[in-house]
Amino acid sequence: METTDTVRKLFDGVVPERASEIESIVNYYDAQFRLIGDREGFNLDAGGFSAIQYTSRSTRQMWLFGYAGRQALHCYASLIVLFKSRGDTLDINEISRIPDQAAEDETFKSILGSVKDLSTAFHEDDFEWPVGIPEPEKGRPSDAERAAIYDLTCMATAFVFLHELKHIIFSAEGNSPEDPKDEEYCCDEFAKDMMISRINQYATSSGYPEEKVRMKRMMGIALASAFILFATGKGRLAGSETHPPIHGRWSATVKDVNLSDDDWFWLYFSSFALALLKYYSIAIQPKVVNNYKSLCLDLISDLENGI
Ligand SMILES: [Zn+2]
């Protein structure tokens, strides 16, 4: 079996400036991205024989999760903007008392419920697709908001595939870090570097402003990071023998991001973090929103302290 065209097209679309480089790496290590038969759970990982295996239901879980990201923005983005402009303290308990907020939170919860249902269904076809969320087979939606979610989901999926590709490289080279937790950080760093470090080339050839491309790519990585938290489950957020804590991975991901402190990337990640922390009943300390970046970093600290 060979690398699927879908994955090739994914890299072409998400990181066009590095698609041929990725292809060379894949060929050099004889790596393959294989679509495997349906099975329960989230299955997208590096297996034996340099193969990165994935199921259709796993990429569909990420697709649904992209809509959880949109809902997180609906729940919190405008409130965060308001708190920042007023200089008021953001207090999650007060937010919860705002009319209609419970309904917004409930919608977020129900999308996450759908992701879980898809993961645990006996067969992928047993899952009833939620009303109001377009199906992935229909391609990139025409309206701007859904098209943006499509792009972010593609970016998040590419990030996860690139992370797994680095595991394949470590295994082939026989130079994996001694501590498997360090390997996870290195794989995240590899994926992020692939998606970020040559954006200037893409900006030059495409004419898109470099900062806007960086913002969007980082939002895609934030979506992947949020998904990793969700897929890990509350009981394992603090990490394990083989996996670092999620707050550690989030901190590493947002380190050295060349975007302004009030870039939308930070607003997106903050909104997602707020929604997820609330979903998992992790304590969110009242805080002044000096800028979106400081809020994001404060929420990562809440995640660290609250698990
Ligand atoms: Zn990994």
The domain spans of the chain are 62-306
pLDDT for res 5 = 84
Angle at 60 between CA 56 and CA 65, to 5 degrees: 155
Q: How far is the CA of 168 from the centre of ligand 1 (A)?
A: 10
Task: Indicate whether 112 pLDDT > 90.
Answer: yes
Task: Note if the pTM is more than 0.75.
Answer: yes
Q: How far is the CA of 215 from the centre of ligand 1 (A)?
A: 24
pLDDT for res 49 = 81
Q: How far is the CA of 295 from the centre of ligand 1 (A)?
A: 27
End-to-end Cα separation, the chain, in angstroms = 42
Asked if 274 and 213 count as a contact pair (C-beta separation under 8 A), the reply is no
Task: Indicate whether 121 pLDDT > 80.
Answer: yes
pLDDT for res 2 = 58
| Residue 143 identity (one-letter amino acid) | D
pLDDT tens-digit map of 190-232:
999 999 999 999 999 999 999 999 999 999 999 999 999 999 9
Angle at 154 between CA 200 and CA 277, to 5 degrees: 100
| Residue 258 identity (one-letter amino acid) | N
Asked if 152 and 216 count as a contact pair (C-beta separation under 8 A), the reply is yes
Task: Indicate whether 3 pLDDT > 80.
Answer: no
Angle at 84 between CA 295 and CA 254, to 5 degrees: 25
Q: How does residue 163 score in pLDDT terms, banded at 50, 70 and 90?
A: very high
How far apart, in whole angstroms, are the C-alpha atoms of residue 148 and residue 132?
A: 16
Q: How far is the CA of 185 from the centre of ligand 1 (A)?
A: 8
Task: Indicate whether 153 pLDDT > 50.
Answer: yes
Q: How far is the CA of 243 from the centre of ligand 1 (A)?
A: 8
